[in-house]
Amino acid sequence: MDHNPAKSVSIVLAAALAAGANLAIWFPGDSGPDAESQYLQAVTGQFDDWHPPIMARLWSAFRLLADGDGPMFCFQVVCYWAGLGLIAVTLARTGRWFAAWAMLGVGLFPSLLTTNIVLVGDVGMGATLLGAFAALFWCRAQNREIPPAIAVIALVLLLYGALVRANAIFAVVPLFAYMMRPQWLERPWRLLAISIPVALAIFPAANLFNHRVLQAERLGAIRSLQIFDITGVAFHSGDVAVFGPDQSFTRDDGVDCYRSAGWDRLAPWGVCRFFWDRLAVAPDLRRTAETLDARGAMGLEPNPDLSSLWIAAILRHPLAYAQHRLAHFISEITRGASMGTLDATAPRSFSVALYDAVTASALWIAIGACALLRLVAVRSVRRTAPLDASLALLLSGLSYAGAYLAVGVATELRYFFWSILAIFTAVVISLPELSAGRAAAAARSGRSRKMTRAPLPARPRPSHSGATARATGCAAARARSGRRWT
């Protein structure tokens, strides 16, 4: 272990400088409609579950320090750079100075740096999960048992990350396995298979916590997914009967209002709000819903038949459902960093198109999948601390991204903030293992080519006595032939 305290201090100072610049340039952060709604809940003390209420509860606690967006912005940025800095110092302590500095460079990647200033649960989840992983990696890289204090800090950060996004549990399960028993990562495919039922079992527990402990009002956010899926099935199948027997939707309604990019047009604040009023609200309250604003319509009693309509539509037209989900997922993962500020219909220059391709999550999901396959092969031969850490991050980031194939309802780059951050971090940590995997593959390929191209064994050269015998036999045959012609 090549540990130079002076170099470690330089990395800490660089991380602190980056965090300070991040805070100073973008303070107090970018607050959109979601953040404004949650801050209003923090001020009034009336919480709902349209967005997971843990963020609004934390914001209400931050108001003891200061009002406004500043405290939440500082929390996200500090967790982000503290996590990156701690990982970089851990790599430096093992003599990997280039990887340590590259780790700080990850934080400057455009997809991440332009997103970590947005005050949303996606960024809060990514920052806290990164902080939890960094604390665990600090111990695991030194082959130390995790002290109780660090375990508690990591567990609190993991719990916050799991509660601040409805589908975050898919990202938390591999990190929890890394904390409890890294040996579980020996069979990553089994861990992925186990993550699905575990996540589905934890969803009701999270809802119970939100409603009983955090006292959040039920708004039924899952109705957004159900309405989006039913409309998508109707659009791709042409069957408007999936909306139910008592509905008056036409195929033109679906053509005019459905967009694979997201459900916003169908929402209570969308241009096709009648989808919400007719499908999401109890039948006897639909007239009332039409007279209310978006928040009032969301708070009305939900339609008890919506879940059964949703399941029936999927079972009746599974191919149309698959087309709908795949089209939406493609629109999510191909969104680049500039697409939120530029007109989507305007032509883009080559440099902007290249920038969007590099910053879109599709590229990083592909990189993560290739790295996972490579590391699984290496893990079957040997086990190292960087290998365990990278597998945990890759499984976390890819599982979380894959969940959007089934539950995504909107297209924003921030939804994949954690996936890009986890995959990029895993690649930097596992560079020696990836290189070793390539070398081993090249060696195996070289041996295979040598075996294929090996020359055939030479025929044994005849001895002198054999050659003499053949010459004598040939002479006798010519003599017999000559007598026969005579």
Q: What is the DSSP string of 395-435?
A: HHHHHHHHHHHHH--S--GGGGHHHHHHHHHHHHHTHHHHH
- CA separation for the pair 360, 464 (Å, rounded): 76
- CA separation for the pair 352, 367 (Å, rounded): 21
Backbone dihedral region of 26: left (phi > 0), alpha (psi from -120 to 50 degrees) or beta?
alpha
User: What pLDDT was estimated at residue 187?
Assistant: 80
Q: Do 217 and 296 meet the contact criterion of CB atoms below 8 Å apart?
A: no
53 lies in some domain: yes
Which tens digit of pLDDT belongs to each residue from 93-150?
Answer: 888 999 999 999 999 998 899 999 999 999 999 999 999 999 999 999 988 889 999 9
User: What pLDDT was estimated at residue 474?
Assistant: 47
Which tens digit of pLDDT belongs to each residue from 393-405?
Answer: 999 999 999 999 9
Which pair of structure tokens corresponds to residue 267?
């929402």
- CA separation for the pair 275, 421 (Å, rounded): 36
Please name the residue that has the structure tokens 């455009």. Answer: 110
314 lies in some domain: no
Q: Do 276 and 295 meet the contact criterion of CB atoms below 8 Å apart?
A: no
324 lies in some domain: no
Measuring CA to CA, how many Å separate 339 from each of 108, 336, 356? 19, 6, 8
Please name the residue that has the structure tokens 């694979």. Answer: 260
- Residue closest to 8 by CA, chosen among 96, 105, 77: 96
User: What pLDDT was estimated at residue 307?
Assistant: 95
- CA separation for the pair 416, 437 (Å, rounded): 28
260 lies in some domain: no
Which pair of structure tokens corresponds to residue 314?
């999927």
The structure's pTM equals: 0.86
Which tens digit of pLDDT belongs to each residue from 280-335?
Answer: 999 999 999 999 999 999 999 999 999 999 999 999 999 999 999 999 999 999 98
- The confidence band for 463, taking pLDDT boundaries of 50, 70 and 90, is very low
User: Rounded mean pLDDT of 256-272?
Assistant: 94
366 lies in some domain: no
User: Rounded mean pLDDT of 21-33?
Assistant: 93
465 lies in some domain: no
In this predicted structure, the answer to whether residue 36 has a pLDDT above a threshold of 70 is yes
In this predicted structure, the answer to whether residue 466 has a pLDDT above a threshold of 70 is no
* Count of domains observed in the chain: 1
Instruction: Identify the domain containing residue 93 by its residue range.
Output: 5-218
- CA separation for the pair 316, 321 (Å, rounded): 9
Range list of H helices, 259-384: 274-279, 286-290, 294-298, 306-316, 318-333, 350-359, 361-379
User: Rounded mean pLDDT of 396-425?
Assistant: 94
The SS3 of residue 300 is: coil
Q: Do 20 and 189 meet the contact criterion of CB atoms below 8 Å apart?
A: no
- CA separation for the pair 180, 387 (Å, rounded): 16
Lowest mean pLDDT among 199-203, 260-264, 285-289, 323-327: 199-203
176 lies in some domain: yes
Q: Do 59 and 70 meet the contact criterion of CB atoms below 8 Å apart?
A: no
Which pair of structure tokens corresponds to residue 210?
């939100």
Range list of H helices, 165-261: 169-180, 188-208, 222-237, 251-257
User: What pLDDT was estimated at residue 1?
Assistant: 52
Of these ranges, 104-108, 165-169, 459-463, the one predicted with the greatest mean pLDDT is 104-108
User: What pLDDT was estimated at residue 442?
Assistant: 53
Q: Do 173 and 199 meet the contact criterion of CB atoms below 8 Å apart?
A: yes
- The confidence band for 484, taking pLDDT boundaries of 50, 70 and 90, is very low
- CA separation for the pair 2, 408 (Å, rounded): 46
Type and span of the H or E element at 7: helix 5-26
With a pLDDT cut of 70, the percent of the chain lying above it is 86
209 DSSP assignment: I
352 lies in some domain: no
Which pair of structure tokens corresponds to residue 264?
């916003």
Measuring CA to CA, how many Å separate 86 from each of 11, 21, 36, 147? 9, 18, 32, 16
Share the mean pLDDT of the chain: 86
User: What pLDDT was estimated at residue 456?
Assistant: 45
Higher pLDDT, 380 or 441: 380
- The confidence band for 181, taking pLDDT boundaries of 50, 70 and 90, is confident
